[in-house]
Amino acid sequence: MRDFKTLRAWQKAHELTVEVYRKTKAFPREELYGLTSQIRRASVSIPSNIAEGCGRRSQLELARFIQIAIGSSNELEYQMFLARELGFWGDQEHIPLERSLSEVRRMLTILVRRVQRDAAKEQGTVAR
């Protein structure tokens, strides 16, 4: 079991989530249960899955939850793109979030590789 709050990837994902909440406050009221909710849920899913994975017993389980977090980051990328296309926010809101999301995804990709390598060592096999 790990303390998820010590992971830099979790910290960055948490910061992204807080910023997503701030930026989606300006979305149209009729989107509260639509795109606003979807974007917020996808962003929350990233640090939540990291945290859940850290509470699991094995490195393989942690790797699986990090992969789910990566999937949520892809989902969030599309939803942010859609919000921009619909005119809910402009470059001023979108570009910093997009950069932050890209950084989180890179960190998660590196982290999942490291965790998979550690899992392979635990099992006595070589990771590819």
> Looking at residue 63, which CATH number applies to its domain?
1.20.1440.60
Q: Is 90 left (phi over 0), alpha (psi -120 to 50) or beta?
A: beta
Predicted local distance difference test score (pLDDT) of residue 79: 97
Decide if 35 contacts 89 (C-beta within 8 A). no
Does residue 110 fall inside a structural domain? yes
Predicted local distance difference test score (pLDDT) of residue 82: 97
Predicted local distance difference test score (pLDDT) of residue 125: 60
Does residue 128 fall inside a structural domain? no
Does residue 27 fall inside a structural domain? yes
User: Per residue of the chain (128 residues), what is the pLDDT tens digit?
Assistant: 789 999 999 999 999 999 999 999 999 999 999 999 999 999 999 999 999 999 998 899 999 999 999 999 999 999 999 999 999 999 999 999 999 999 999 999 999 999 999 888 877 765 45
Does residue 87 fall inside a structural domain? yes
Does residue 107 fall inside a structural domain? yes
Does residue 98 fall inside a structural domain? yes
Q: How far apart are CA 47 and CA 90, in angstroms?
A: 25
Predicted local distance difference test score (pLDDT) of residue 75: 98
Predicted local distance difference test score (pLDDT) of residue 2: 84
Decide if 94 contacts 84 (C-beta within 8 A). yes
What is the number of structural domains in the chain? 1
Q: Domain of residue 118: give its range.
A: 4-123
